[in-house]
Structure 1
């Protein structure tokens, strides 16, 4: 049976009849076995070859099925005589050298090289020619489709090319120039920057008498090399060109062999100069350049760093920085500079394997192509030997991960590896890391000005700043934006800003030619999605999940809720994204996405997940937020949250104490608000209700923290959702919470209207708890409006309802309003009696919130009674209670009371200090109702020669 790989996969039986193998997977399996002919191939290896890193659960079973099917195809009459043998944990196919064209090819190449070494060119010629004659097209032509087989085909193509080079050298040595030129021309055109091929083509054309064609070939080669690398051809080819120019019409036939030897080994010019062109108009990165120069070219003439890794997110300019650095220090490396783009993140281009990079570098250092080892360990050993005693800078650009370059990293002292990668290189010994992120605003604006024109960029500084911000200060994005402006001279900067403001279009607007921010990000994402380690695939899911939940940052428990995995696994996945520079992390265990990456993540979530899956993911995160907020409110000692219909699919994150709960609320507030707004905007009722529950659960924290504007904004949205859902309970609580915010900002008439709506809704719902809340709010508002009898009436009504349902906080609240109203009616004894009894009850029931209010009201009474010393004691106690209860909104009231008390006691400096703090705190919290009283006290102190100073919202006496 004959097997042919050097072209489409073909199998012939003993009668030379072709055996058809119609299914791709069957061909791939047979090709994998034949590539390892004579060596047992494990099932694991076969699975990897057929499905790469994403095998189906049934992969091993499928392999067995495919082997059985192949045996039936190859030997339908007797499966036992089929050439595929079973071995421990695998299979073996062992054709003879004459039965597999690949083995025959390699045997002829081996014999041809042996004949060349023995100076027998005719024998070498026959073997090389027979070897190439076995090829019927591209290797594995109809069996590719998986990365391992694609890589194998590429390696076989390199073997074929090396054989052609050696055959051409023999042909030229034998004077068969026309024959050599005929074979070289198509190969040279297919490999437009391959130095040895083009040198051989020039020699063969010249030797055949076509001097014009030889010179034209050089010009073509030189132009392509310059366009693609920014470099000139190597010195031997330049010398060959000059000799051809100088030789006139007569060609010295001794020149070909000598010149081809120069191209092959380059003994007179062993110093490679492979760096790309020094980037023109390089902007910024001054600090990083100083660091890199100190590592690569120490000022004390010491040895350079062994490995230097420039890492950073996609589009941050790592390659440009590395190239600029390499040019700045090139004189330090007298042995030359080697450069390779490993295409770790180049869309649509296969990344280089370690052996390919080693082969390129070894040839550049003078090793003949046929002498380059085909084993990676042997090649690495030769690499180290050649670098010994040389000072060489090796730039490995766009490395996908450590595995791609590990065989190259161990270089002798004096040489340095400069790596750029999106992945961390923390595991490399003696490696210095230089991590880069976004450019500064000034650097990005300068870069934009150089691309789009300084005058145009300067015309609208605000638009320029916004454009840079929308580009995330990433060099790639700023460069694309600058290119787009440069190509559209009629556009103003503001025109592009307007287009980028639309988040749905932003990534698509940041495209120019073959450069695109989205494509750059996609490469990093695809590496995780197709990663060999399961954690990489979880990291890819996590990135998509963060495109679903629209919050400023997340912790690992939130990611765990999104993915429905344990928090520790979620944390490991997020750390992988941080290592890959697709997420940013800090020491507090929080993770965030750059805006452009967040937009990309959202697009991937839509592509990778169904709408139902995205909804379930979001609902799990929202459920955890709601459950944890309710737990935090309870642990913080706040009153109960508003009861709402919310079916929670996830539980709370662990919180152990009131202090921990309050800290969690502070840290998560921006995320909780964002999540609530996102959920309430969703069309699905379940998600919208989760958003409502989250918003209402935040009331006490927002109210006590003195954030009336946020409280008003979010409860307006709650009211809209409640009306959309027809939920009167939600509407009632929204009206009440809006009234609280409006009262603090001195819009009491509007607040009063909302409370009346709330009271009506709660009575319709027959909800006594809600009713007493509304009655208490009416009492408080009427108290502040100076309608004291009405305030007492509403407060008494609240106290009756609260007592009936056994709600102690409602009773305390009502009594405090009654006591304050009695005070305003100048009924001091009654006021002191009511408030004194209430103080005892609040302490007994542990209601620190209401105890704070009672102390404040008692202080007000003592001031009016002409007892500032007792008043100060009450205000000091109230302030201490407010601090303990984290009741920030109460602080400006206590501080104003202390300022008045100290003034009346003659302690004017203290009074000025307290008043300054009160003004600053009230201003920061937006407490409008104190404005008049603060101004009045400020005027009194100024008359005493104690004006106050408030700077940037922070008090300073």
Structure 2
């Protein structure tokens, strides 16, 4: 253990007792640690007669080590009957570790495993060596070290479980190997390791792991592993034996086929490589669907047919089976789940016949062809009749797509039909096609299919044969067709692909730049491949150099070109097919252009209807057509989005059609957002701002029917509303700017009351800039008000005061008394927040007089509230209470009284606490909490919970206080209230100290924070 002084100098703590004392204080996590607990940490239950004096000496020595020039300023402080180390939560690894673990568990419960993994990885990265490794020697510290090790191990197990569930099996195995070795009889760790090895394709290692566990358990306790581990072992062993049997039988069948015809023997299909045969297991005893594909049944012997008629088509056995598959890509990575499913469809593990039509569908550049070729090679051994392949050029720029008769003719000739015998009629050719495939087991790969019409004559193949097609279309109308849609690559898969192209060392040299490049390529295999190819041809470039070029949206599509391969041309084929098609296709193409122009994350049919100036049902049909063409994505009903590269392409097309039409479409979308937000605010009971001049709306709102439905819409659309408002306010057109400002005005109170501080700050700053740019003093004054309110929510009071001052000056220039009194109220509030209570009273009294003159009751109430708060700040508690109770009797009735009641109850409760009357305070906070919840003010709830925690602590009800603090922490983090969270941490230390004193008096023992938290 060593101490690092403020200047950066590191001083070793050489004596064991000093290290033990430091460890015991740090385990308190900043909370007071009672002297009896420190005694036991140093001497167990046998302290020397001089223990008290020695402890004080050790404390003095540590203070000198921490701060040699000013020992009294060292963070070790005397507190009550103990000592504490004053530190912030982010200054102690233990607290940071526990915070990351809590956040990780919360993310896992919320269904966000990526974030959960990230938090748990951060938590575990803080560990270096054994806990308290140079400070042990007492029962207290040894026990604490054991608990810390258990905390770390639990986090490691949870991370491994998440990684296994997400398909990150190799990462899980890498983390589990050393953990399992360090804990040879921990069955959960070894079960996880077995699963990870099995799902990574290394069944032999999984079986060896079981044997190591079984041997260790037998040596230590004479017991066998538990039933879940034994069941997993049995399943893995059976699957391995079944696969070995399949290999043997398949080789035998191939040999038999070779003796029956002139065809070369067909060997067994090799297993998918370990990197690609991963899956996920849901329980200790389960195995992934990868097993089904890996243990598929052997291929039957080739059938022997009679001698062919020289005048007609040959029989299936007369010619060698075709082997037309393109070379499998050596750089192929990922798509594990899709590969498993495709193998199970085309080569069922139970020996059943293959599914006769399977379609891989996906967006342009998503890697459909590569996946089809990888799949076809994986199952080739199950099709002794051969493998036919044709690229139909359905989306190949500059190349005529093949017609059905072209494909049929080629395949008939490949199967041995003389060229002069190939029919020139599609129906006759299809009949001959079916006859030739009868009795065979042939895999037909139809790559890059434009639409169903292009391949319909080929689809009705006899049982035992299979069609594997790839297309940008969805193939929903094909009878008995199984569609396997693919999207973007996962981050890990795209990174692995990129590393294969440019070299692992180059990709790992700047991990952050590599991750950003993957994001800029939207996880699209085509884009990642082009980026990798460009860097491979430019050895002098770092990954960051290409990232810099891709960051510029105007040139990103141009940068993603390599030779004749380009993302733009790939997208253009699909777009051109739509824009040159029938009426619905042309509408879909127009919708794509306009969605690309609108800067929101996703759209609904109602928004697209506004963009198109068309009925909602037509907009929905257009979106579904885009979905069928894989130009939009739809992860949840009625929500459609573009990935970034499609958005850039769509925006290019929109710019070509003319900015005027795009601006008019943007105005219509903004009107729809404003109209629906206004309706939602009315239904949910949020206050609606009246500061802006009303703007005439021509679009109808989404038909929301209830407050619950409206709140759900607000939650779902919040980020879109803010993005659309910002886009509108940045426009050069006056009406568009005003529509953006109107949207800010409609959403403002919802943002404030739900605690979206950073969003409120950003959008209100933009609103202020927009009003100033227009030269409109009313809009500028309103912008100052909104931005000042957001700054107050973020505890930036001095900045808020400046904006209220400028707002006041503008309203006085305009002669607007209503705006003037509002500004005075804002100034009073910020003065109170800044501790300038005398100034606050002056501003509030001016607001009180002006509100009375214009008959504005809400202003009168607010002025009394501010005066009451100021008097409390000045220590005039009786006057403060009288003023606040007067305000309570003047609650405004017309405008959301619950909101004002909640605020007032909190302030009265604080006065009661200052007057040492926790019973009255508790009653105020309870009523205020009810009012805040009824007024839908989640941002206010943690303040009332904190007040209740303080009240119960003062009443001696420590368990209730601790419960309310836990709720406070939870809501502070949910609403981003870091200031209140720090206050709650201080209160928690007081509660823990009180709990420790009670324990000492009742049981003769105490416990610090390290023993009770986590």
Counterpart of 1:544 in structure 2 is 593
Counterpart of 1:651 in structure 2 is 700
Show CA shifts across 1:688-731 (max 9, x none). Answer: 22222222332211211222222222222222222211111111
Counterpart of 1:195 in structure 2 is none
Instruction: Decide which of 610, 625, 633 is 2:673's aligned counterpart.
Output: 625
CA deviation after TM superposition for structure 1 residue 348, in Å: 1.0
How far apart are the structure 2 equivalents of 1:722 and 1:432?
Answer: 56
CA deviation after TM superposition for structure 1 residue 542, in Å: 1.0
Does structure 1 retain, via aligned residues, the 8 Å contact 2:958–2:995? no
Instruction: Decide which of 647, 662, 667 is 1:614's aligned counterpart.
Output: 662
Counterpart of 2:779 in structure 1 is 730
What is the DSSP-based 3-state SS (H/G/I as helix, E as strand, rest coil) of the residue aligned with 1:272? Answer: coil
Show CA shifts across 1:231-251 (max 9, x none). Answer: xxxx99xxxxxxxxxxxxxxx
Map 1:124-273 onto structure 2 (within 5 A).
268-269=318-319, 271-273=321-323
Change in CA separation of 1:347 and 1:678 when aligned onto 2, cut-off 3 Å: same
Counterpart of 1:298 in structure 2 is 348
How far apart are the structure 1 equivalents of 2:477 and 2:768?
Answer: 54
Counterpart of 2:9 in structure 1 is none
Counterpart of 1:944 in structure 2 is 994
What is the DSSP-based 3-state SS (H/G/I as helix, E as strand, rest coil) of the residue aligned with 1:944? Answer: helix
TM-score, normalised via structure 1 length = 0.69
Instruction: Decide which of 419, 433, 439 is 1:383's aligned counterpart.
Output: 433
CA deviation after TM superposition for structure 1 residue 865, in Å: 3.2
What is the DSSP-based 3-state SS (H/G/I as helix, E as strand, rest coil) of the residue aligned with 2:940? Answer: helix
Show CA shifts across 1:347-374 (max 9, x none). Answer: 1111112222122222222333333233
Counterpart of 1:809 in structure 2 is 858
Counterpart of 1:555 in structure 2 is 604
How far apart are the structure 1 equivalents of 2:805 and 2:960?
Answer: 43
How far apart are the structure 2 equivalents of 1:650 and 1:769?
Answer: 31
Counterpart of 2:682 in structure 1 is 634
Change in CA separation of 1:305 and 1:624 when aligned onto 2, cut-off 3 Å: same
CA deviation after TM superposition for structure 1 residue 752, in Å: 1.2
What is the DSSP-based 3-state SS (H/G/I as helix, E as strand, rest coil) of the residue aligned with 1:488? Answer: coil
How far apart are the structure 2 equivalents of 1:465 and 1:800?
Answer: 60
Does structure 2 retain, via aligned residues, the 8 Å contact 1:444–1:478? yes
Does structure 1 retain, via aligned residues, the 8 Å contact 2:557–2:649? yes
Q: Which has the larger radius of gyration?
A: 1
Change in CA separation of 1:860 and 1:393 when aligned onto 2, cut-off 3 Å: same
Counterpart of 1:434 in structure 2 is 484
What is the DSSP-based 3-state SS (H/G/I as helix, E as strand, rest coil) of the residue aligned with 1:300? Answer: coil
1:849 corresponds to 2:896? no
Does structure 2 retain, via aligned residues, the 8 Å contact 1:745–1:928? no
How far apart are the structure 2 equivalents of 1:474 and 1:493?
Answer: 17
Does structure 2 retain, via aligned residues, the 8 Å contact 1:265–1:368? no
Using the TM superposition, name which of 500-509 and 330-339 deviates more: 330-339
CA deviation after TM superposition for structure 1 residue 402, in Å: 1.5
Counterpart of 1:692 in structure 2 is 741
How far apart are the structure 1 equivalents of 2:986 and 2:713?
Answer: 39
What is the DSSP-based 3-state SS (H/G/I as helix, E as strand, rest coil) of the residue aligned with 2:390? Answer: strand
Change in CA separation of 1:445 and 1:623 when aligned onto 2, cut-off 3 Å: same
1:670 corresponds to 2:719? yes
Does structure 2 retain, via aligned residues, the 8 Å contact 1:745–1:926? no
What is the DSSP-based 3-state SS (H/G/I as helix, E as strand, rest coil) of the residue aligned with 1:537? Answer: helix
How far apart are the structure 2 equivalents of 1:454 and 1:550?
Answer: 36
Map 1:330-345 onto structure 2 (within 5 A).
330-345=380-395
Show CA shifts across 1:376-397 (max 9, x none). Answer: 2222222222211111111111
Counterpart of 2:760 in structure 1 is 711
Map 1:852-931 onto structure 2 (within 5 A).
852-922=902-972, 925-927=975-977, 930=980
Show CA shifts across 1:477-511 (max 9, x none). Answer: 11111111111111111111111111111111111
Counterpart of 1:247 in structure 2 is none
Map 1:289-688 onto structure 2 (within 5 A).
289-532=339-582, 534-607=583-656, 609-641=657-689, 642-644=691-693, 646=695, 648-688=697-737
Bigger relative contact order, structure 1 or 2 (CA pairs below 8 A, ≥6 apart): 2
What is the CA RMSD across the aligned residues, in angstroms? 2.9
1:794 corresponds to 2:843? yes
Counterpart of 1:743 in structure 2 is 792
CA deviation after TM superposition for structure 1 residue 872, in Å: 1.6
What is the DSSP-based 3-state SS (H/G/I as helix, E as strand, rest coil) of the residue aligned with 1:419? Answer: strand
Counterpart of 2:327 in structure 1 is 277
1:769 corresponds to 2:783? no
CA deviation after TM superposition for structure 1 residue 604, in Å: 1.1
What is the DSSP-based 3-state SS (H/G/I as helix, E as strand, rest coil) of the residue aligned with 1:414? Answer: coil
Show CA shifts across 1:809-842 (max 9, x none). Answer: 3333233223333444555555445444544554
TM-score, normalised via structure 2 length = 0.65
Structure 2 regions of 5+ residues with no counterpart? Answer: 1-260, 263-309, 997-1006
Does structure 1 retain, via aligned residues, the 8 Å contact 2:764–2:790? no
What is the DSSP-based 3-state SS (H/G/I as helix, E as strand, rest coil) of the residue aligned with 2:400? Answer: coil
Change in CA separation of 1:800 and 1:651 when aligned onto 2, cut-off 3 Å: farther
What is the DSSP-based 3-state SS (H/G/I as helix, E as strand, rest coil) of the residue aligned with 1:389? Answer: coil
Structure 1 regions of 5+ residues with no counterpart? Answer: 1-234, 237-259
Counterpart of 1:209 in structure 2 is none
How far apart are the structure 1 equivalents of 2:780 and 2:665?
Answer: 27
CA deviation after TM superposition for structure 1 residue 645, in Å: 6.5
Change in CA separation of 1:463 and 1:312 when aligned onto 2, cut-off 3 Å: same
How far apart are the structure 2 equivalents of 1:956 and 1:563?
Answer: 57
How far apart are the structure 1 equivalents of 2:426 and 2:875?
Answer: 96
What is the DSSP-based 3-state SS (H/G/I as helix, E as strand, rest coil) of the residue aligned with 2:636? Answer: coil
CA deviation after TM superposition for structure 1 residue 863, in Å: 2.1
Change in CA separation of 1:632 and 1:837 when aligned onto 2, cut-off 3 Å: farther
Change in CA separation of 1:824 and 1:531 when aligned onto 2, cut-off 3 Å: same
What is the DSSP-based 3-state SS (H/G/I as helix, E as strand, rest coil) of the residue aligned with 2:445? Answer: strand
CA deviation after TM superposition for structure 1 residue 949, in Å: 8.4
What is the DSSP-based 3-state SS (H/G/I as helix, E as strand, rest coil) of the residue aligned with 1:349? Answer: coil
How far apart are the structure 2 equivalents of 1:499 and 1:654?
Answer: 44
Does structure 2 retain, via aligned residues, the 8 Å contact 1:265–1:367? no
Change in CA separation of 1:302 and 1:752 when aligned onto 2, cut-off 3 Å: same
How far apart are the structure 1 equivalents of 2:981 and 2:501?
Answer: 52
How far apart are the structure 2 equivalents of 1:945 and 1:755?
Answer: 45
CA deviation after TM superposition for structure 1 residue 467, in Å: 1.2
Counterpart of 2:161 in structure 1 is none
Counterpart of 2:281 in structure 1 is none
Show CA shifts across 1:501-555 (max 9, x none). Answer: 11111111111111111111111111221223x2222111111011110111111
Counterpart of 2:125 in structure 1 is none
Counterpart of 2:102 in structure 1 is none
How far apart are the structure 2 equivalents of 1:372 and 1:807?
Answer: 92
Q: Which runs of 4+ in 1 moved over 6 A?
A: 260-267, 946-950
Change in CA separation of 1:266 and 1:901 when aligned onto 2, cut-off 3 Å: closer
